[in-house]
Amino acid sequence: AQIGCFVPAKSAKMPIFDQIFTRIGAADDLISGESTFMVEMKETNVALMNATRNSLLLFDEIGRGTATYDGMALAQAIIEYVHNNIHAKTLFSTHYHELTILDESLDKLQNVHVGAIEKNGELIFLHKMQEGPADKSYGIHVAKLAGMPDKLLKRADSILNKLESENDFTVESTESYTEEKYIEEKNENEASEIQEEQLSLFQPEAVSLDSNQSKILKEIKNANLMGMTPMDVMNIVFKWQKELNKKG
């Protein structure tokens, strides 16, 4: 409404937002050599670093570009961070059903889902928001609508049933990850780093490097590997290997 868009409701009370941040859809940045997941994380970070309690955040399927548990862990941590630190109004869509229990420990979080019903083996989308989490996903039904072969769909359904019967993963519900708890963990980490520095005083001296090895080590430290294409990385590693194998 603030920018002149249609509001799909009979009535609505909405605040004035100072900024709107979206993380919806991403693709590999081939020119910069960045993966879809890296693009997703950078866009998310821009929102987290710049949003205020008066901002609107729209996050879609964060964490899907990496391994399941990594993605789920990141998604939960982001939800908790926004809830406990930024306090911005946020729409966070996800297919990680395990995360829906977070409403038990995050008092400002509310689960909603888009309704759908199955009738005579067919899926009917209601296009209506309903309270509470969805009881299941309909990926295989959507694949059927896309015209995938019946043999493939039956196999997918069989695999799904097996995975669901074996899956015992549960999300660790956050107790109350407050700013105080964040500061406490930060202080513990800093204390651990100081202890490691003190212990390092009693470690044997590092092996001395010749000028060529020192030069290569400096290049490795300064190399922007995330900004390179896979071919660039392979070439520069080959160059380092070749130089290190030179007989002085």
Helix, strand, coil fractions of the chain, as percent rounded to 5: 50, 15, 40
Torsion of CA 114, 85, 74, 93, to 10 degrees: 10
Q: Are residues 127 and 79 in the same domain?
A: no
Q: Are residues 181 and 103 in the same domain?
A: no
How far apart, in Å, are the Cα atoms of 151 and each of 147, 155, 156? Answer: 12, 6, 9
- pLDDT band at 238; cut points 50, 70, 90: confident
Q: Are residues 162 and 218 in the same domain?
A: no
Q: How many domains does the chain have?
A: 4
Q: Where among 149, 172, 195 does a domain terminate? A: 172
Q: Are residues 102 and 4 in the same domain?
A: yes
C-alpha–C-alpha distance, residues 131 and 126, integer Å: 14
Q: Where among 62, 95, 110 does a domain terminate? A: 110
Of 134, 158, 156, 124, give the one whose Cα is nearest residue 143.
156
Q: Are residues 124 and 158 in the same domain?
A: yes
The number of C-alpha atoms within 13 Å of 241 and in the hemisphere containing its C-beta is 6
Residue 36 has pLDDT above 90, yes or no: no
Q: Are residues 45 and 97 in the same domain?
A: yes
Q: Are residues 195 and 234 in the same domain?
A: no
Q: Are residues 93 and 164 in the same domain?
A: no
Segment 38-88, tens digit of pLDDT: 888 999 999 999 999 999 999 999 988 888 889 999 999 999 999 999 999
DSSP line for 150-161 = HHHHHHHHHHHH
Q: Are residues 219 and 130 in the same domain?
A: no
- Structural domain harbouring 39: 1-110
Q: Where among 94, 110, 126 does a domain terminate? A: 110
**What CATH number is attached to the domain comprising 20?**
3.40.50.300
Q: Are residues 70 and 2 in the same domain?
A: yes
Segment 192-213, tens digit of pLDDT: 666 665 555 555 555 677 888 8
Which pLDDT value is given to residue 141?
A: 87
Prediction pTM value: 0.65
Q: Are residues 2 and 101 in the same domain?
A: yes
C-alpha–C-alpha distance, residues 213 and 218, integer Å: 9
Of 111, 115, 81, 117, give the one whose Cα is nearest residue 94.
111
Q: Are residues 80 and 22 in the same domain?
A: yes
